[in-house]
Structure 1
Amino acid sequence: MNFPWRAGNRLSLLINGEAFFPRVFAAIRAAEREVLIETFILFEDKVGSQLQGELIAAAERGVSVELTVDGYGSADLSGAFVTAMSEAGVRVHMFDPQPRLLGMRTNLFRRMHRKLVVIDGRQAFVGGINFSADHLADFGPEAKQDYAVEVEGPVVQDIQQFVLAMLAPPERQRRGWTLRARAKPDSQAAARAGVDSGQSQLVIRDNREHRNDIERQYLQAIGSARQRLLIVNAYFFPGYRLLREIRRAALRGVRVELILQGQPDMPIARFSARILYDYLLRGGVRILEYDSRPLHGKVALVDDEWATVGSSNLDPLSLSLNLEANLIIRDRTFNRQLFEHLQALSSEHCQAISQAQLARGAFWRMPLVFLGFHLLRHFPAWTGWLPAHTAKLALLQPHARAKAARNDTLRRERQ
């Protein structure tokens, strides 16, 4: 396990960029000591530019600001964009930066896929929303449907300590994080607190000691389901164990629903997921495809007690390669709010998939189903052959000439 269960947290579900960005920007404006951000994607659009402005303003008033972006997801950031932040005092880190080969990015795997924001160690945001305008409805038909959770309370300190540990040098990072991760959940205290006390737990996936922690949380929750299991996932191609447990839950009478992409931003996502539909439908799983716009969410709930919101998809990249972070939540009020939203989503914007629909083209799909199942069985072992990147960060420094010119300008303004 990564961190203990923490009771007494205040949790708020944030749906799409319209809810997420104003809350994050307001929190940054209110920061007094520290702003920590990890994000897979930061674009130089209206959202990225507003984030840049908020971080610069925070740094200029003396707040410590650490921003970490992924070297693949945010590879196109311009030097001027980064320099403006660095010169103001924002420390900009890039995860596993790699040179381009013939103009192409080389670090396709082992991405830093987390989306975490921590303000003054008292307020945090966890979810799947990147800092880009395609998480806003006015982006158009390609705007993404996604989720995050805002949290205040004891679990925020765990998130803060984790992000700070990732900023440490590799030798200190390994030693400090390993010691921190040995903390065991106080299950008795969690039971005493009950499931209406904002219980939360940070769970991460890395390529060292915590390779299967998020998957294990899903397996345990699915195995304990008694009434309902609802999974919303953008990129659904889980390992064989997860696939089998989802089907077993339906076979023992649990109402199991999957909400998956019907209008995907990447067609391969829908194609891959559909390879698995027949196996799940024959087990009693109800599958719905969200057709309004690309689905980017990574949330799930079990019965009225367990829920998760985070960055981890149920696909090979998230479960076997990427660095991910999810918040696990045991709180009936939060669970009910998420459930009611997803019920409305499924009834108003989703199409149920039937076995009759799958029967069309079944003759060519069967070989893919056979190959897909065997891929699912063996993929985690195969990925072990790939090099496991360490959490390598590069601090992006402002260009020396630009920095000198800015300093000269500031000196003239003071005179």
Structure 2
Amino acid sequence: MVVAIVIARVTFRLPSLADRPASSATKTATSGPLLKPVAHLLEEHPDKSGVYALSSGLDAFGARGLLAREAAQSLDVQYYIWHGDLTGLLLLESLREAAERGVTVRLLLDDNGISGLDPILSELNMHPHIEVRLYNPFTLRKFKMAGFLFDFLRLNRRMHNKSFTADGLATIVGGRNIGDEYFDTGSQPMFLDLDVLAIGKVVRDVSADFEKYWSSASAYPLEFIITESVTGGDELDHALWEISKSAQYDTYKKRLSASAVVNDLEAGTLPLEWTEVRLISDSPLKTLGKAKSDQMLIGKIDKLMDDVHSSIDVISPYFVPGKQGVEEFAALEKKGVEVRVLTNSMSANDVKLVHSGYAKYREKMLKAGAELFELKAQHSPPDNSRDAGIAGSSGSSLHAKTFATDEERIYIGSFNFDPRSMQLNTEMGFLIESKTMARQLKYGFDETLEDIAYRLELDDNHQIEWLDRSASGDAQRLDVDPETTRAERIVVKLLGYLPIQWLL
């Protein structure tokens, strides 16, 4: 076995980056459609950033599409997952259209989340104004996941960052990947998620962060990894033609045209909040296991926790605090800080293995004084309205990663409170000084969670109960994970015994 692994690693080793083309950093555009409606705002707020929370998936997709359509100089795009479905193909088309106008497009994708897209990405990479790079790539393409068998420690570290930056003027950063389930369409269960649209000072920091990843030792030009030639030259057009025949295509196009956020953004009338915004992110050296403590996002979050005085409201779809996390939350409670956490219930969690890591800390968190809420599983799409709230409305599965402290500041980004985000994957997000956004999150906990989530409590025997309040206000107490089978609960419990918490 050891000999086979060594042979495989030698045979399928990564290519040299010695011949990787140099790439100049993005410069902020001095003209173009994106600049014109906001130029006066940028002059009025030279040292601040204007932000707007995108809680609706429809608006989040439309905003990305608008940035691509109106970009005049550059598009720097960085994602963990990019699906070849309706929204994924439409955004690839928008990048290609921008390149046809002469816009320089740089697309950096984690190679773990682009299943089936090799031919389309290869075709796009041939365009003179598009360059695609794969982050921490798999050298084995046809049986991709088999790469874990001989190169697990490297491939287990992924780039979880998500950003979409146009002309160095506007960016979207948050929790959404690119795929129908993130943008309120399709037949798959929807994700509740959250992004932030930003213009102003912080955009320069996002561009600089992108440059670090683009030029890092883990970013490989696509042609170095995917060597098969593209013969047809119409891979994207064919995929778009196939999907354009669907009812989903027509319906979504009509819904997009009615997006008030997109219309306001195009007109320059979107109600941005101008405030202090700080990008916090991991160094790409984390992928190589070489990042120092001051180069990792978790250290910055730990320092932020030390400054919490009265309250912290956390939304994390994958919440695995571990022993240290429980102790830190307990310490906050002891000094009078109210700790509240919303995560997925077992029935709503799309990764049961991660839920097993969380479940064994629920009792300890409750005993420490924290309040725990678990999102109910729903089988209808979430509310697509513009005023759905900063945490959205009830949907199939929670995916937003955000927390607010002291009703004064809020973090929105890609970081989960789990070992994978802390130690393995690279992450990024915005820390925003905003009483408005922080209080919106607090309001969500105060006023809406009883409708969309179970509240966990300990009974007299210190056993967990799930409190389920109906619309009429009546409460039902459940003594097992709601909407699950006995078999599911047994499997999750058994998974919890596995020594794999560091992977979750």
- Scaled by the length of structure 2, what TM-score is found? 0.63
Q: Which runs of 5+ in 2 are unaligned?
A: 1-45, 149-154, 221-272, 379-395, 466-478, 481-489
Change (3 A) 1:317 1:87: same
Is 1:56–1:85's contact at 8 Å kept on the other side of the alignment? no
Tell me the amino acid that sits aligned with residue 152 of structure 1. Answer: I
Per-residue deviation at 1:319?
A: 0.7
Aligned position for 2:407: 304
Is 2:136–2:218's contact at 8 Å kept on the other side of the alignment? no
Aligned position for 2:302: 219
Change (3 A) 1:306 1:80: closer
Deviations along 1:216-268, one digit per CA (max 9) or x if unpaired, are: 23322333222211110011113543331112212332221100111111112
Deviations along 1:147-175, one digit per CA (max 9) or x if unpaired, are: 111111111101101112322264999xx
Deviations along 1:186-218, one digit per CA (max 9) or x if unpaired, are: xxxxxxxxxx95111111123133556322233
1:19 to 41, 46, 59: 59
Tell me the amino acid that sits aligned with residue 283 of structure 1. Answer: A
Is 1:204–1:325's contact at 8 Å kept on the other side of the alignment? yes
Higher RCO structure (Cα 8 Å, ≥6 apart): 1
Change (3 A) 1:38 1:279: same
Is 1:123–1:151's contact at 8 Å kept on the other side of the alignment? yes
Deviations along 1:18-38, one digit per CA (max 9) or x if unpaired, are: 221101110111111110010
Aligned position for 2:108: 68
Q: Distance in 1 between matches of 2:87 and 2:103?
A: 21
Tell me the amino acid that sits aligned with residue 115 of structure 1. Answer: K
Q: Is residue 101 of structure 2 the alignment partner of residue 45 of structure 1?
A: no
1:351 to 438, 454, 463: 454
Per-residue deviation at 1:342?
A: 4.9
Q: Distance in 1 between matches of 2:174 and 2:451?
A: 24
Say how many residue pairs are matched: 349
Aligned position for 1:120: 167
Q: Distance in 2 between matches of 1:314 and 1:300?
A: 10
1:89 to 126, 129, 132: 129
SS for the counterpart of 1:56 is helix
Q: Distance in 2 between matches of 1:53 and 1:370?
A: 43
Tell me the amino acid that sits aligned with residue 256 of structure 1. Answer: V
Is 2:182–2:190's contact at 8 Å kept on the other side of the alignment? yes
Q: Distance in 2 between matches of 1:354 and 1:236?
A: 17
Q: Distance in 2 between matches of 1:34 and 1:289?
A: 41
| Bigger mean CA deviation after superposition, 255-264 or 214-223 | 214-223
Per-residue deviation at 1:349?
A: 0.6
Q: Distance in 2 between matches of 1:54 and 1:46?
A: 12
Q: What does 1:136-215 correspond to in 2, within 5 Å? A: 136-140=183-187, 142-168=189-215, 170=217, 198-206=275-283, 207=286, 208-210=290-292, 213-215=296-298
Q: Distance in 2 between matches of 1:309 and 1:264?
A: 20
Q: What percent identity do the matched residue pairs reach? A: 22
Q: What does 1:24-35 correspond to in 2, within 5 Å? A: 24-35=64-75
Q: Is residue 417 of structure 2 the alignment partner of residue 314 of structure 1?
A: yes
Is 1:56–1:88's contact at 8 Å kept on the other side of the alignment? no
Deviations along 1:18-71, one digit per CA (max 9) or x if unpaired, are: 221101110111111110010001111001111011100100101110011111
Q: Distance in 2 between matches of 1:21 and 1:370?
A: 37
Tell me how large the CA RMSD over aligned residues is. Answer: 3.2
Is 1:250–1:283's contact at 8 Å kept on the other side of the alignment? yes
Aligned position for 2:359: 274
Aligned position for 1:10: 50
Is 1:222–1:246's contact at 8 Å kept on the other side of the alignment? no
Q: Distance in 2 between matches of 1:250 and 1:65?
A: 47
Tell me the amino acid that sits aligned with residue 286 of structure 1. Answer: E
Q: Distance in 1 between matches of 2:70 and 2:321?
A: 40
Change (3 A) 1:114 1:343: farther
Change (3 A) 1:72 1:112: same
Aligned position for 2:265: none
Q: Is residue 435 of structure 2 the alignment partner of residue 332 of structure 1?
A: yes
SS for the counterpart of 1:55 is helix
1:256 to 339, 354, 361: 339
Q: Distance in 2 between matches of 1:345 and 1:79?
A: 45
Q: Distance in 2 between matches of 1:371 and 1:251?
A: 30
Aligned position for 1:393: none
Is 2:282–2:428's contact at 8 Å kept on the other side of the alignment? yes
Tell me the amino acid that sits aligned with residue 205 of structure 1. Answer: D
Tell me the amino acid that sits aligned with residue 222 of structure 1. Answer: M
Deviations along 1:297-344, one digit per CA (max 9) or x if unpaired, are: 110011122211111111111110111111111222232234334545
SS for the counterpart of 2:439 is helix
SS for the counterpart of 2:177 is coil
Q: Distance in 1 between matches of 2:214 and 2:363?
A: 45
Q: Distance in 2 between matches of 1:211 and 1:96?
A: 21
Aligned position for 2:368: 283
Change (3 A) 1:172 1:282: closer
- Scaled by the length of structure 1, what TM-score is found? 0.76
Aligned position for 1:412: none
SS for the counterpart of 1:87 is coil
